Amino acid sequence: MLKKLFKSLRSPLRRTPHVQQHSRSTPEVLNAGQHSMQRAHVSRYGVGVVERLQQAGYQAYLVGGCVRDLLLNLEPKDFDVATSATPEQVRAEFRNARVIGRRFKLVHVHFGREIIEVATFRANHPESDDEEDSNQSSRNESGRILRDNVYGSLEDDAQRRDFTINALYYDPSNERILDYAHGVHDIRNRLIRLIGVPTQRYQEDPVRMLRAMRFAAKLDFDLEIHTAAPIRELAPLLREIPSARLFEEVLKLFMTGYAEETFELLVEYELFGQLFPASAEALRLNPEYTHTLIAEALHNTDNRVHDGKPVTPAFLFAALLWPALPGRVIRLQERGMPAIAAMQQAAQELIAEQCQRIAIPKRFTQPIREIWDMQERLPRRSGKRADLLLENPRFRAGYDFLLLREAAGEDTDGLGDWWTDYQQCNDSERRAMIKDLSGKDEAGGAAPRKRRRSPSSRRKSTTGTTE
Ligand code: ATP
Ligand code: MG
């Protein structure tokens, strides 16, 4: 397919760019007939924003993921515009525009539910101590960019973008693509390649390591060797990233349809432990169960995204963190705490710890706790308890989570099937099912308590298998 996409390139791409050699100040220009991108596939609002800015005398292009994805025949997630106009000048052109961001100022132009993101051309950071510069840009000791509002030319803008495949500029007025960094070459060879010196580019913004994983998974591209090489060593730089930004990035990693593959890459490149330290520890202590549970949850999430069904961050985080929970619950129980109280306290501590790295908003931490709490309650079905659980707004998520645990190999003594049947039964059948439990119920619910003395019984836990 790619061969077909590029077969009409008049000038064959000449050479493989080397690590220091993949940017240039004069772009390769691909005319309408030399690439497969079609104006009709671009959002009309994106085209409209570019045209309006051009009419006002500014340079403007569609850039980034939308050009990359359309060349690959994929549907772009959003349409980004790069322009010579400053954010204030952009805002003045549109009634429906809002300036956002501090670290990196952008303008959002709203068209109903669609947002076109407009960024002013930026330059790479001057290293000088010039006071005027340092008002616009700043770095910390390790080279991380703290503010990034130094505007520049189109050529500058191309150099400061992350990957070569993201530095392609499309002008809808003449349907040309400007390629400053051999991005078309890398699309053709399916390579994720950083522009510039990789170590420095990761130090400037460690989130680029996560972006590399995301694009490799989404596009099914390989990481170019120099782009991949420093990642394991630099992974700890992610600890410097504000936890609120990491939350946003983690949603992009796991909620856009390629979560399972992204997870495998994050583990391979030792980035997963920087994001989820407790889960990485569970992965080390109990690899098979932890890996299966997380991969299964992400696989289901990917399927839902591809089917256009809603996915909730709470369920996802509940699954990502779950394998780290049982060991903590057991430790508290060993100190004499009852099962449900131990679960609640362990959950509280684990979430608080996790929020130091990734700021999970309260509206999600509460449902995470409820999904976990439900795992202790689902085995307790006697009397009216089963019916009360069924009415609980969190029942569905709790039940799905139980099935996930079973799919990961947990032995819950048929609890998932029991609940599947119970939901399908009529009232009298339900009474009979409850009667049949004949005392099994409470024992099942208190399984972690039983584990206190016998290590072999731990494997039968309802709350996981790690310790
Ligand atoms: P998608 O929207 O499909 O996730 P994208 O490539 O459009 O992918 P965005 O996050 O929308 O990604 O960013 C738009 C463009 O801005 C990128 O293509 C890239 O050129 C540039 N960019 C984004 N984040 C960074 C970064 N951390 N460092 C350098 N350039 C970046
Ligand atoms: Mg984008």
Structure tokens at 102: 């501090």
Cβ(166) – ligand 1 distance below 6 Å? yes
Tell how far the Cα of 58 is from the centroid of ligand 2, in angstroms: 21
Determine the Cα–Cα distance for residues 327 and 338; give it in Å rounded to an integer. 15
pLDDT at residue number 274: 98
Identify which of 125, 161, 201, 207 to mutate to test ligand 1's pocket (most ligand atoms within 8 A of the CB). 161
Pairing type for strands 168-171 and 106-111 reads: unpaired
Determine the Cα–Cα distance for residues 390 and 376; give it in Å rounded to an integer. 14
Per DSSP, 151 falls in state B
Cβ(182) – ligand 1 distance below 6 Å? no
**What is each CA distance from 130 to 96, 125, 135, 138, 354, in whole angstroms?**
36, 12, 9, 11, 39
pLDDT at residue number 104: 82
Q: Is 80 annotated as catalytic?
A: yes
Structure tokens at 318: 């509940």
Residue whose C-alpha is closest to residue 46's, from 66, 28, 22: 66
The per-residue pLDDT string of the chain (467 residues; one tens digit each, 9 = 90 and over) reads: 444 444 333 333 333 344 444 556 789 999 999 999 999 999 999 999 999 999 999 999 999 999 999 999 999 999 999 999 999 999 999 999 999 987 789 999 999 999 999 999 998 765 444 444 445 567 777 777 666 678 999 999 999 999 999 999 999 999 999 999 999 999 999 999 999 999 999 999 999 999 999 999 999 999 999 999 999 999 999 999 999 999 999 999 999 999 999 999 999 999 999 999 999 999 999 999 999 999 999 999 999 999 999 999 999 999 999 999 999 999 999 999 998 899 999 999 999 999 999 999 999 999 999 999 999 899 999 888 999 999 999 999 999 999 999 999 999 999 999 999 999 999 999 999 999 887 554 444 433 333 333 333 333 333 333 32
Identify which of 166, 179, 194, 237 to mutate to test ligand 1's pocket (most ligand atoms within 8 A of the CB). 166
Give the contacts of 131 (CB within 8 A, at least 6 positions apart): none
Given the residues 80, 157, 186, 205, the one annotated as active site: 80
DSSP helix/strand/coil, 451: coil
Write down the pTM of the prediction.
0.86
Burial 117-133 (b: 16+ CB within 10 A, else e): bbbbbbbbbeeeeeeee
| Complete DSSP assignment for 360-406 | --HHHHHHHHHHHHHHHHTT--TTTHHHHHHHSTTHHHHHHHHHHHH
Give the contacts of 49 (CB within 8 A, at least 6 positions apart): 60, 81, 94, 109, 116, 118
pLDDT at residue number 9: 37
Determine the Cα–Cα distance for residues 55 and 77; give it in Å rounded to an integer. 26
pLDDT at residue number 3: 44
| Ligand 1 atom having least distance to the Cα of 207 | 27
Which residue type occupies 384?
K
CB 389 within 8 A of CB 418: no
Give the contacts of 432 (CB within 8 A, at least 6 positions apart): none
Which residue has a Cα nearest atom 15 of ligand 1? 64
In sequence order, the β-bridge partners of residue 260 are none
Phi/psi at 373 (5° precision): -55, -40
Which residue has a Cα nearest atom 24 of ligand 1? 162
